Structure 1
Amino acid sequence: LGAIRLAALPASETRTFGFHRAEVFASLINGTSIFLIAGGIFYEASGRLVHPEKVNSLPMLVIATLGLIMNLLSASALHEHSHDDLNVRSAFLHVIGDAAASLGVIIGGVIMYYSDWYILDAIISIGIGCVVFYGAWRVLRESTHILLEGVPRGMKVSEVADNIRSVEGVRDIHHLNIWSICSHIVALSAHLDVQPEFKGRQAKLLHAVEHMLQEKYHITHTTLQVECTHCIAGPVIKRFSHRSRQSHCNH
């Protein structure tokens, strides 16, 4: 909730993109904590697997049932926004994992109540740990991908470049960069080599490219540099290089 409020703050002179990535950092922290929780579950389960302990099944069933109800209510409230907000998605996966854990505990509790097969407690815990671990891995993978300026998943740079070239007046494209500011804001920058006869109609051409990007890829933040002469040939994706440390020290 704090990350959502922070992300809503306006941009400033020191943070021109605003605080949108607060949700990504929150997801990274959330995913890391869930990952550690999974490790703790595996550790505790391994001990009970070797030395099963008697479980008081009835209180466990009552607590697990209450937990399942609360987690399902939380999941239903988060589900609507879990597809377009990474922070909400991480919270949604968290409560879904908890709900699955509660369901597993209920099933195990019923079996142990009638059979005294207490090793099942450790087996269920390992299963719960696997579910929690998988959810944590997904959140960590997505948040790290965004923080490393990765191209949004499911989007192909070559396909975007071809669609830009298909706009009337665009001869070629290079220095193309696509990245996610957060889970629901995608940015793009590129150099467009336009045909000479479109030199006086650059505004219309740019509008056509921006409209296509928004309609097909939901890219709403674009920075396009128009060039009316052939640039030095180069790859579509520009390679960035670190400034020489020696040069930096000399200055």
Structure 2
Amino acid sequence: MSGHNHAHHHTSNLFFTTLLNFIITVAEIIGGIYAHSLSLISDALHNFSDGLALIISYFALKLAQKGSDEKRTFGYKRSTILAAVINSSVLIFLSGFLLREAYFKFINPEPVTGRIMIIVAMVGLVANTLGAFLLHHSSEKDMNIKSAYLHLFSDAMSSAAVVVGGVVIYYFSLYWIDPLLTVIISIYVLKESFEILKKATNILMQGVPEDIDILEIVQELKKIEGIRDVHHVHLWGLNENHLFFEAHVNLQEDVLLSQTNSIYQRIEHILRERFGINHLTIQFEYNCCPETDIIKKE
């Protein structure tokens, strides 16, 4: 029941922040066109992508709440990882587009209305900060929410930079500040988006989580009394919160199946407490595998 309440809380916050983002987008596009400000329009495009990202995240969360069935024995939890891939990919594309536009702005600078930049960007700053605040706690435990939170956080930074840029333009008429802000914001978003895309792709490829060393796990398990070696190991994440481990465990003695229970419990304790692995499948053996490599060569 607690998990359901958390999910409902996530979706409610996502809906509210989505509404905020589309309002900001319209305001910033109108203000950007009127003020001839690329950085304001870039902020609007980021906000528009935020809105799309939040919609994708919302439906991914709803889908992930569905239980397992005969067609999806692992359930639908990976839908949030797919959402993270889509959201980060959109951000990378938009950042590349804005870097291109900034290049042309450097070559052919245009007068920018600083006062309009300041007013509209202030509205965006307040709204994005509120949205990022609503999603901050959830983003620490869910890659999908984190990708949406990153959209909002980067736009809050973007809006703050546009406010500062608007002040500089208003008082000093330094119009090159406008495309410079676009470049800085886009490079930051590119860096963060690539990080999320890298982690999400690793999960989809069933890669070993970056912070876990398989060799370290094997060495710890071999310290358990009764275990000769551990081989044919597989470790992957269904998403960032559900880690799966399976392996063949070769025992030192040919014991009854019922006698392996205590060994299994010690394995489970180590994997859960030391490495955060919450699903495991162990195949106990006694000298029956001709190959005992830790990773089986397919």
Tell me the TM-score normalised to structure 2 length: 0.78
Report the 3-state secondary structure (helix = DSSP H, G, I; strand = E; otherwise coil) of the residue aligned with 1:101: helix
Unaligned runs of 5+ in 2: 1-57
d(CA) in 1 for partners of 2:272, 2:137? 23
- Distance (whole Å) between structure 1 residues aligned to residue 232 and residue 179 of structure 2: 54
2-structure distance, mates of 1:12, 1:65:
48
1:183-202 aligned at under 5 Å gives the runs: 183-196=240-253, 198-199=255-256, 200-202=258-260
Query: In the TM superposition, what are the counterparts of 1:11-90 in structure 2 within 5 Å?
Result: 11-90=68-147
Counterpart for residue 214 of structure 1? 272
Which of the numbers 282, 285, 291 marks the counterpart of 1:224?
Answer: 282
Aligned residue identity for 1:183: E
Contact residue 6 and residue 22 of structure 1 kept, 8 A: yes
Q: Following the alignment from structure 1 to structure 2, what is the Cα–Cα distance between the partners of residues 80 and 168?
A: 41
Q: Secondary structure at the match of 1:52?
A: coil
**Which of 170, 177, 199 is the equivalent residue of 1:142?**
199
State the TM-score, normalizing by the size of structure 1. Answer: 0.92
Shift of 1:230: 5.0
| Structure 1 residues 9-61: Cα deviation after superposition (integer angstroms, max 9, x where no partner) | 11111111110110010000001111111012112111111011111111111
| The structure with more helix, counted as a fraction of residues | 2
Partner SS for 2:139? coil
Provide Cα deviations, 1:191-241, integer angstroms capped at 9, x if missing partner. 00012165451112112111211111111111100002253243101133x
What SS does the corresponding residue of 1:80 show, helix, strand or coil? helix
Deviations 1:79-105 (A, max 9, x none): 112122110111111111111111111
Summarize the alignment of residues 52-201 of structure 1 with structure 2, pairs less than 5 Å apart: 52-196=109-253, 198-199=255-256, 200-201=258-259
**Residue identity matched to 1:205:** I
Q: Secondary structure at the match of 2:138?
A: coil
Deviation track 1:73-126 (CA, whole Å, cap 9, x = no partner) reads 111121112122110111111111111111111111110000111011111111
Identity fraction in percent: 32
| Contact 1:21–1:182 (Cα < 8 Å) also in 2 | yes
Is the contact made by 2:254 and 2:286 (CA closer than 8 Å) also made in structure 1?
no
Figure out how many residues of one structure are paired with residues of the other and give that number.
240
Distance in 1 (CA, whole Å) between partners of 2:120 and 2:60 is 30
Q: Are residue 5 (structure 1) and residue 99 (structure 2) matched?
A: no
Q: CA deviation at 1:163?
A: 1.1
**Partner of 2:52 in structure 1?**
none
Q: Calculate the aligned-residue CA RMSD, in Å.
A: 1.3
Q: Which of 237, 243, 247 does residue 295 from structure 2 map onto?
A: 237
Please tell me whether the aligned partners of residues 232 and 247 of structure 2 are also in contact (alpha carbons under 8 angstroms).
yes
